[in-house]
Structure 1
Amino acid sequence: MNRTFALVAFAIVLLLNGFLSDTTSHAADAHKLVIIAGKPSHPPRMHEFNAGVQLLAKCLESVDGLEVVPVLNGWPQDESVFDDADSVVFYMDGGRRHEIVQEEGRRLKLIDEWAERGVGLGFMHFGVEVVADQAGAEMLRWIGGHYENAFSCNPIWEPTFAVLPDHPVTNGVKPFQILDEWYFNIRFLGGIVGNDAQSIKDTKFQPILLATPSDDVRDGTYVYPKGPYSHIQASAGRAEAVMWTVERADGGRGFGFTGGHFHDNWANDDYRKVVLNALVWSAQVEVPENGIASTVSDSMLEANLDKKAPQKKKPKVKKQAKSE
């Protein structure tokens, strides 16, 4: 009896070891995506970085081969979260006080080290904006472009994305129209306009979301500064990239997405899908032919919102013609 019990116990141990080994192996094989949410800013339902990151992470839970690690309220105190990351994406406020330029450039050097190892990098909404002499060169290397104050502009407008390129990030995405604070006239690498796919210094650049701002949109007002800028008006009729990707010579991937101002836009299936696809693609995980499937409920949109003071003044909105 004792011998039989011992044999059964030994068999159970072997089975458990095999199960744990398989589980560990699966986790080790998964590509790691870290999404960093910025600290609270702006009125309610705008710049809801913490809620947005958690919503996107939930939408990615079922993606095979992907481990998503959301980081809330800015740069993590424990930087071990970046260990073995395949992609790091920043959804946060930018400009002169951008999280990536803090600590006298230490963080920039750290991200540069990731890029040299082929780590994917993504920047969303205000996070796309940096001061050129602080991090402009780095952003051009990492993701191929950045918002530059007084060169780029940030009106609230409603473009139609009628034509989508053949690219994994657009898998399953249908043409859509949506209101957002879409930045344009981005400062792109090599001085390119950014509305054509091309290779620049071993970097493969691809515009993803293209739309042509109407003259009313170009004439302002912009969110800040109000504008208008003569060089923006002078480019009337030109298509503008408001989302793009790059494939870098180091093997890493990068993307910029200038939308993400209004939290409730995550309810739009195609708007959400193009971002989910970009997140997965940046981590070197294959995007399904029909894109990343997800659904968002009202309760998901209401979850994890930051506590903010009520909005006192509604932003001015420019309606975009549907003929684009």
Structure 2
Amino acid sequence: HYAVEVPKGEPGDKFLDWLGGYYETGYSTNPHWKAEIRALPKHPITSGVKPFTIGDEWYFNMRFRPEMKGVTPIIVTKPDDHTRQGVSAAPRGPYKHILEAKGRDEVLAWVVERPDGGRGFGFTGGHFHKNWGDPNFRKLVLNAILWTAGLDVPAAGVESQVTPGELKENLDPK
């Protein structure tokens, strides 16, 4: 999630090489909103993952390689008009270039395969710890870990169980 945010320039250029995209301050945005993931492409990391809807701090308007070269979008959805206003973004919107993109599909997660054989997975969700309790959210990321490591993803995806109590066990007091 926050690990996809790096400064423009050399760090951003390295992320374009390694990961295919990144969050660019002043260009990308980071509102809290409920994304409706209605369809997923056929890819090993989507094995066993069903469409889902979940609220998170989903970043969008990410800076990608020119023409998305080598980048495969995994989660693509349209933020609603309220989300594009940037009311819950930091720094708070609205931003003209985000508003002008009204109705555009936004890529919230993606994969890249590099010429050197390396793989990357960009994921803009993960702000809220409770979301790991959603089986499809969790399975997508677990599948991505295997795929990124060059391992085979099971046909039904990585099976895992987590209880609400387990999710609360390691939270720091606030």
1:126 aligns with 2:2: yes
Q: 1:136-190: CA deviations, max 9, x gaps?
A: 0110000000000110001100011001000001000000000000000000011
Find the partner of 2:115 among 242, 245, 249.
249
Aligned residue number for residue 226 of structure 1: 92
User: Take 2:99 and 2:90, find their aligned partners in 1: how far apart are those partners?
Assistant: 16
Aligned residue number for residue 140 of structure 1: 16
- Matched to 1:164, the amino acid is L
The alpha-carbon deviation at position 306 of structure 1 amounts to 2.2
Specify every segment of 5 or more residues in structure 1 that has no aligned partner in the other structure, as ranges. 1-124, 195-199, 309-324
- Matched to 1:173, the amino acid is V
Runs of 4+ in 1 over 2 A off after TM superposition: none
Q: 1:98-138: CA deviations, max 9, x gaps?
A: xxxxxxxxxxxxxxxxxxxxxxxxxxx11110011251011
1:237 aligns with 2:138: no
The alpha-carbon deviation at position 244 of structure 1 amounts to 0.3
Aligned residues of 1:222 and 1:228 also touching (Cα < 8 A): no
1:177 aligns with 2:36: no
SS at match of 1:206: strand
Aligned residues of 1:130 and 1:136 also touching (Cα < 8 A): yes
SS at match of 1:179: strand
1:266 aligns with 2:125: no
Aligned residues of 2:61 and 2:106 also touching (Cα < 8 A): yes
The alpha-carbon deviation at position 307 of structure 1 amounts to 3.5
Aligned residues of 1:220 and 1:226 also touching (Cα < 8 A): yes
User: Take 1:139 and 1:293, find their aligned partners in 2: how far apart are those partners?
Assistant: 30
Aligned residue number for residue 290 of structure 1: 156
**Between Structure 1 and Structure 2, whose CA radius of gyration is higher?**
1
1:165 aligns with 2:41: yes
In the TM superposition, what are the counterparts of 1:1-324 in structure 2 within 5 Å?
125-190=1-66, 192=67, 200=69, 204-308=70-174
Identical pairs, percent: 50
More divergent stretch after superposition (233-242 vs 215-224):
215-224
Aligned residues of 2:29 and 2:86 also touching (Cα < 8 A): no
Comparing both structures, which one devotes a greater share of its residues to helix? 1
The alpha-carbon deviation at position 239 of structure 1 amounts to 0.6
The alpha-carbon deviation at position 223 of structure 1 amounts to 2.4
Q: 1:270-292: CA deviations, max 9, x gaps?
A: 01100000011000000011100
User: Take 2:2 and 2:142, find their aligned partners in 1: how far apart are those partners?
Assistant: 18
User: Take 2:120 and 2:173, find their aligned partners in 1: how far apart are those partners?
Assistant: 32
* TM-score using structure 2 length: 0.97
Aligned residues of 2:37 and 2:75 also touching (Cα < 8 A): yes
SS at match of 2:101: coil
The alpha-carbon deviation at position 205 of structure 1 amounts to 1.3
By relative contact order (CA 8 Å, sep 6+), the higher-ranking structure is: 2
- Matched to 1:148, the amino acid is E
Specify every segment of 5 or more residues in structure 2 that has no aligned partner in the other structure, as ranges. none
User: Take 1:286 and 1:132, find their aligned partners in 2: how far apart are those partners?
Assistant: 34
Q: 1:229-262: CA deviations, max 9, x gaps?
A: 1111111111100000000000010011000000
SS at match of 2:9: helix
